[in-house]
Amino acid sequence: MGDGIEIRELLGVRVQRRRSGYLSTTSSCTALPLGAHTSTASLTNPHKLRAVAGQRDYHLAVMLRRFSPYRGRRLRWDEALFERMAMTRVASYLGQRVGPRFDKAVIPRTNGRLSTMGLNKIGIVTTVGAKSGRLRRQPLALINDGRGLLAIGSNFGREKHPGWSSNLLAHPDCTVELSGPPVRHRAELLAGAERDAAWATANDFYAGYENYRRNCAPRQIRIFRLQPSTDDRRAEASRSEV
């Protein structure tokens, strides 16, 4: 440029270099993903920036109004902002401590529709305890992939599998309260190509799942597909047409 300023942008960080050798950075993004701690010195090093970009390649998709194949369109501004906010430490804490209590109280009172994520995003899955044999109610984000409801055992990126996933392994039969009254379902643990496809759908639904995967490694996140039981398939189909 005419004033001797060279501008490069890597991972949303603008780097300005002047002829005097002075180097400064200004961030064009709101924040790095959860768990990313980058010093000022590393931000001034293009090689380290490229390394961060490789490790956090999904972050650019979160920052932008990315195209979502699952939705068949670009994210709306409210969806992009919600997704970005959901990846903060505060949202993670609220999701673990406050969200389940709220959803357990509100979802049954709104016929399975309203939750902390808005309309028809979170359902209450009732399982049978693997050890206790007692009924356990757990609000879960459920993703309709056209073949059933995907339940992702991310456990917010923690080291251990969530208890509800162990319950489903021991007792696959469960009930799901989402967009209507509770319906009996049967859970299937996905593996191989089916799991890969489901994981891609989950990451498109919410880009933060990739961050959970990295945080909980080497644990592999369990992915279940919940399908209506034979007796309830007809009722489920008729309700989806309404």
Give per-residue burial for 168-192: e unless 16+ CB within 10 Å, then b. Answer: beeebebbbbbbbebbbbbbbebee
In 23-181, the DSSP E strands lie at 23-27, 67-68, 73-74, 114-115, 118-119, 122-128, 135-144, 149-153, 173-177
Alpha-carbon radius of gyration of the chain: 21
What is the reported pLDDT for 238? Answer: 55
Q: Are 17 and 10 in contact (CB under 8 A)?
A: no
| Report field, pTM of the whole predicted structure over 0.75 | no
What is the reported pLDDT for 4? Answer: 38
37 pLDDT above the threshold of 80: no
What is the reported pLDDT for 65? Answer: 78
Return the H-helix or E-strand segment holding 7.
strand 6-10
36 pLDDT tier (thresholds 50, 70, 90): very low
Looking at the chain, the whole-number percentage of residues with pLDDT higher than 70 is 69
**How many residues in total does the chain contain?**
242
38 pLDDT above the threshold of 50: no
175 SS3 class: strand
DSSP string, 25-45: EEE-SS-PPTT----HHHHT-
Give bridge partners of residue 127 from the DSSP assignment: 136
User: What is the mean pLDDT of the segment spanning 141-160?
Assistant: 95
pLDDT in tens, 118-128: 899 999 999 99
33 pLDDT tier (thresholds 50, 70, 90): very low
Q: Within a 10 A sphere around the Cβ of 45, how many other Cβ atoms?
A: 14
Amino acid at site 48: K
